[in-house]
A and B are shown apart, each in its own frame.
Chain A
Amino acid sequence: MELTDAGLVARVLVDDDQHAFGELVRRHQSSVRGLLRQLTRGDLALADDLAQDAFVRAYKNIRGFRGEAKFSTWLYRIAYNCFREDARRRKELVGINEEQWQAEQDPQTVDPGLRHDLMHALSLLPVHERSAVLLCCQNGLSHDEAARVLDIPLGTVKTNVLRGREKLKKTLAVSAQ
């Protein structure tokens, strides 16, 4: 019988079982890497570095997981913090000029999937709206869970999701013309 995430976490806590932690990484690597790829606007190398960092941090701080939220939510929060710290270092959070960003894009490092209209529209959203839309609309988190991940008030999450959706719709409508 397959162990639940909570069961695997218990094994890591009690026996320091790295195989159990490996199973947790295998289970969640796709969603965490996917989230970070879109937060980093398709920079695969950076996203994977951040994802690795997030999993290593999760292992080191696993005693901080109290089981109040889903393991994936806790993991998203760590991954988002890794992204935010890195973005802060890169001054992305203070608002990068979109034209400058487009000009800086190296086609070699951009995920081909991002060329899809929707992904492109998503990448044009400001980081706070992009992360809220990704967590709630793509990864199926509730607004409450997303608020915990992003460490912002519930109302702000709802506003960001609403605004993000509206902008996505507008961008898609323009590109469809």
Chain B
Amino acid sequence: MNEQIEQDWLDRKLEEAALYIEDDGFTARVLQQLPSPRQAGQFLRPFILVGMSALASALTYVLSDGGRFILVEMFRLQRFQRCG
């Protein structure tokens, strides 16, 4: 019983000894050290890039008549090499 009273007294004293510590700019210092917040949609950036590249390739393919100009140019190059 006496031991329990002593224990409670000690715990109370320990709690009382824990004074509140004023912030005094501590929070501001922590916030300054945080990494900059993620920008919205930043994780989408690689997907957007790949999508745009695929779209551009598809558009080029269609507008160039199924890539026909590549075949023409390759044929011309081959002929030029043979003549040379």
- Interface positions of A (Cβ within 8 A of B): 16-18, 21-22, 25-26, 29-31, 33-34, 37, 48, 51-52, 55-56, 59-60, 113, 116, 118-119, 122, 133-134, 137-140, 165, 168-169
**A25–B32 Cα gap in the complex (Å)?**
12
3 tightest Cβ-Cβ pairs between the two chains A and B: A30-B21, A16-B37, A138-B14
Complex contacts, A59 vs chain B, CB 8 Å: 34-35
CB closest residue in chain B, given A35: B18
- 9 A-B residue pairings within 8 Å (CB atoms): A21-B34, A25-B27, A29-B23, A37-B21, A52-B29, A52-B33, A55-B30, A116-B17, A169-B10
Interface size of B by CB at 8 A reads 24
Q: Are B23 and A26 in contact (CB under 8 A)?
A: yes
Beyond the given pairs A16-B37, A26-B27, 15 more chain A to chain B contacts, judged by CB atoms under 8 angstroms and listed by A's residue number, are A18-B34, A18-B37, A21-B34, A22-B30, A25-B31, A26-B23, A29-B26, A30-B23, A31-B18, A37-B21, A52-B33, A60-B35, A118-B13, A119-B17, A138-B18
If A18-B37, A29-B23, A55-B30 touch, whether A165 touches B18 (CB-CB below 8 Å) is no
Complex contacts, B14 vs chain A, CB 8 Å: 118, 122, 133-134, 137-138
